[in-house]
Chain A
Amino acid sequence: MDRADHVSILYDGEKHEVPSGRTILSALEEIGIGFVRGVGCRGGVCGACTVLYRISDETEFHAALMCQEPVQAEMEILPLPYFPQKKVRHSLDLPEGETPHYRVVNYYPEINRCIMCGECSRLCPVGIDVMGYVGMIKRGELREAAWESFTCVQCQACALRCPGQIPQPNAALTARLFHGRHQVPQAEHLTRALEKNRKEDIHAVIGRLRRMKPVEIQALYQRREIEPQNAPPGTWLPEDRTLIMMG
């Protein structure tokens, strides 16, 4: 069975010869193993295709996304399509006198159980310092936690091996939501745009464009003034201001 361009792997307890140079997912499909559950985006962002694997001779095992990870010889692979993890259903309300930090820890008090073993950070297939963001949440550094956890694809690998039984990705989600809702300033220019739109009759101006003949509107389109790439935010204005409703 040994073919030069094939490697031998163990998937869900069964041995298979699969083509090398592929992702685990496409290698398995190539030999006829299809997926209904356990595959979603095929692009490394949905976390549906989490697996645990170990190379035969080694002790250490790893987590990976099947749609991203190249197959290697002697991989033993366990699919992990689902992991029952605590998730709190909560609103984003902040009762009088409470801080976002307090709210998050209140929903996920488990984060205080972190013993800093580092297993979660080691496993995370997208390279997030999970232990790091757990610590940040604990210390009330929600902004830092939000950005450290920002590319989390909710694959659950970190939660799987946590000795503190901490649902890290869900705690991070709550931290991001409270940070976004209560700590990031609202965009004032957007508030002004909304006010302007309420005052002006946008539909009337659009109506004027809609009544133009094809050649007229095409000419208007070709004449568009393009905001320069390097214009500092909110500073540039076009010569012709009729379409932006400034006279």
Chain B
Amino acid sequence: MSHTDAPPRQPARPSKSAGDERLLHRSLARRLMGRPELGSVVGAIAVFLFFSIAAEPFLRASSLSTVLYASSTIGIMAVPVALLMIGGEFDLSAGVMVVSSALISSMFSYQMTANTWVGVGVSLVVTLAFGVLNGLLLTRTKLPSFVITLGTFFMLTGLNLGFTKLISGTVSTKSIADMEGFNSARALFASHLTIGNVDIQITIVWWIVLVAVATWILLRTRVGNWIFAVGGNADAARAVGVPVTKTKIGLYMGVALAAWISGQHLLFSYDAIQSGDGVGNEFLYIIAAAVGGCLMTGGFGSAIGAAVGAFIFGMTSKGIVYAQWNPDWYKFFLGAMLLLATLLNAWVRKRAEATS
């Protein structure tokens, strides 16, 4: 939403050459300075050092794997949410969509007495449809995404409860742990690998893969340029031939896809799903993306930054527990740490911009 119709600020830099400006050679230091996640990386290091000193158990391998798990459950969603924010939009329905996705596959498998993989597949289709719906509503009505997704947020919350109660008779789903296909699905979505004596939750693998794919899309594909363009200035982007509608619908489908992965993790990790869960988590995803350097106004940010943001949140929320501080003040500490990390982030970026 900048006022110029210049090309997006990131990754493209103004250049006089007619070729692809991304191919121009720049020194490594300068390239690092220009990265949106630079500040958040410094923030993450600061938080890490802080808890390494303040909390004795924090540095153990088992603790780090717990912190990474907590970060990954936010991080998986923060990736597409960051892309969406770069594209200039919000999704407030992302938190409950995760639970919707889990409910759909659980209830479909159970009620149809189907192999759990069938439920997983149906859930993927329906969840992607939610994404398409969000995108279509947004591009057709031209209303702000805040309003559109607030509407779908409430609708999904109601549907989650209403359908679960209608179909299961109670507000949580029945356990599907004894059904065929459960174990193989659990292996994919909710298992953990042991490397050495460190336990790695599979969500961490999903997270890394998603960050890598999103980074590749953003920096190495045409779609990536479209995302930066629609977030920078949608009208200008449309004028130069960027398919704005398609890009935005695609971004919402990306959120839906990650919601599906997270939802399946929830389901296969805990067997039964509470239909009221997920409310409020959408903010955690937005927080992770924002702490990681994505601009709230669009056009600037990165997937790696969102991952670092999720990691800062994971470290902070669990570090406070490791430090064994008085739990009454938990939320205060959490807020203060996040604020400090973000301030450091902003300060570092300002310095980097001044010197680059």
Real complex partners, A and B?
no
B-contacting residues of A (Cβ < 8 Å)?
Answer: none
